[in-house]
Every structure is written in C-alpha cells, then in structure tokens.
Chain A
Amino acid sequence: NAGVMQNPRHLVRRRGQEARLRCSPMKGHSHVYWYRQLPEEGLKFMVYLQKENIIDESGMPKERFSAEFPKEGPSILRIQQVVRGDSAAYFCASSPLRLNTEAFFGQGTRLTVV
C-alpha cells in the first residue's frame, strides 16, 4: 500500500505562469487536505476535499488558487499567475475518515517562483 504520493517533488515556474500540484491519496482514503509551508514557518491549512467536493477552503486565497479532487485521478492544487510569494512547500495529507483516524502526509512539492 503506497503512501500519499505527490508530484512533482520540485517545480520551478516563472512569474505569471501556472503551477499544477498533484496528490494521490493512500488507497482507500477519500479525504484530502492541502497545506502550505513557508520557509522557517509551520504548516498552514489551505483546503479540505472529498471526492468531487470541496468541504472547507477557508485557508485558501480567494484569487488564483483552486483545488479539485475528481472522481477518478489525483487531487490537483492549481495556482494561476504565480508570484514570488507563492514559493513554498505544499503538502498533501489523506485520511479514510474526517481526521478521526490518522492523517498521512506526502513528501510535498517545493514550488519556486523565479
């Protein structure tokens, strides 16, 4: 049973480009969470999704950021028109229930905007 898989591990984008980050949850997990970690800072909640539904996006910026978790395939965190301030590590976690049990994290995608 593979763990939470995130790709790419590293992503470099120029200002104004789009970034697409993928997260494949553990087998049997239908709940996905995205977090952002700025250098030297803690993890900050962005969005919580179940299959085909956004449950809580209170931590996600209103503009340029969007997330989806389709019926088939990985969850996608999409950042349009990236700016330097978007440079961070983005982590995805998955769980079988809404955090009543263990949440497992992926290895993260490190986004660098140049």
Chain B
Amino acid sequence: KNQVEQSPQSLIILEGKNCTLQCNYTVSPFSNLRWYKQDTGRGPVSLTIMTFSENTKSNGRYTATLDADTKQSSLHITASQLSDSASYICVVSEGDNNDMRFGAGTRLTVKP
C-alpha cells in the first residue's frame, strides 16, 4: 500500500476558480513534506516544503497546509490560471535519511 495517498486523482476547474488538493500519508518517522508541480513531459518543480513544526506555507497563489497529528496536507490554489494545468505531487520524506515517498499525484486541468 502506498504510504502517500492523494485525492482527487483528477480535477477539472474553470479559470479563476480556487481548488484544494489533498494528501494523506502514513510515512513514519516524518521528516518533511513537499508539493511538486509537474507539467506534462517535464520534471517536477518544487512549490513548497514544510517541516514538522510548520502548519502553512505560501508560494504566490499556492498555499500548503500540514497537520502532522492527522498526517494530512492540502495544497490550495487561488484564482487558477490555465498554466496551473499540471500534475501536483505530494512527497513525504521519511526518517533520518529523508528518503522520499511519492504520491501518485492529482492531475489538474484548468479550462477557460
């Protein structure tokens, strides 16, 4: 069973709308959690990284939250743009070695 579960698997929204992507994990011990954006045919690019003590972190129109007690994270995208269409991948690093565990991603499509 994957230690990082993302939902929804795919999402279609209209340009200008907001959306929230979810990430639940069972990785333990926890080191940090990152959200990556992966455009089709490209490598993942980091959006945010959060450690145990951080509850929220923003990067422009992207805001990530982390609840280490319930082992849940969310990525909120505000005022979506067509260029936000991509896969968003939740990555949780495990233990002292910081080994990365990848979620399967949420494929977001923003339509005009």
* A42 in complex: contacting residue of B42, B43, B103, CB < 8 Å: B103
In the complex, whether A105 has a CB less than 8 A from a CB of chain B is yes
Instruction: Digitize A91-114: 1 where CB-to-B-CB distance is under 8 Å, 0 elsewhere.
Output: 101000011101111111010000
Number of B interface residues in the complex (CB < 8 A): 19
Closest to A48 in B: B99
- Name B63-109 residues within 8 Å CB distance of A: 89, 93, 97-100, 102-105
| A42-B44 in contact (CB<8A) | no
In the complex, whether B41 has a CB less than 8 A from a CB of chain A is yes
Closest to A3 in B: B43
Chain B residues positioned under 8 Å from A65 (CB to CB) = none
State which size class the interface on A falls in: 20 to 34
Chain A residues positioned under 8 Å from B42 (CB to CB) = 107-108
A106 to B103, CA, bound (A): 19
Q: Number of A-B pairs whose CB atoms are under 8 Å?
A: 47
In the complex, whether A63 has a CB less than 8 A from a CB of chain B is no
| A105-B45 in contact (CB<8A) | yes
Instruction: Digitize A5-24: 1 where CB-to-B-CB distance is under 8 Å, 0 elsewhere.
Output: 01000000000000000000
A111 to B93, CA, bound (A): 28
Q: Ordered nearest first, which 7 A-B pairs have the shortest CB separation?
A: A105-B43, A99-B98, A42-B104, A43-B102, A105-B44, A107-B43, A42-B102
- The interface of chain B, by Cβ under 8 A from chain A, is 2, 36, 41-46, 49, 89, 93, 97-100, 102-105
- The interface of chain A, by Cβ under 8 A from chain B, is 4, 6, 33, 35, 41-45, 56, 91, 93, 98-100, 102-108, 110
Not counting A99-B98, A103-B100, a sample of 18 additional A-B residue pairs whose C-beta atoms are within 8 angstroms of each other reads A4-B43, A6-B43, A33-B100, A42-B89, A42-B102, A42-B103, A42-B104, A43-B44, A44-B102, A56-B99, A91-B44, A99-B93, A103-B46, A104-B46, A105-B36, A105-B43, A106-B43, A108-B41
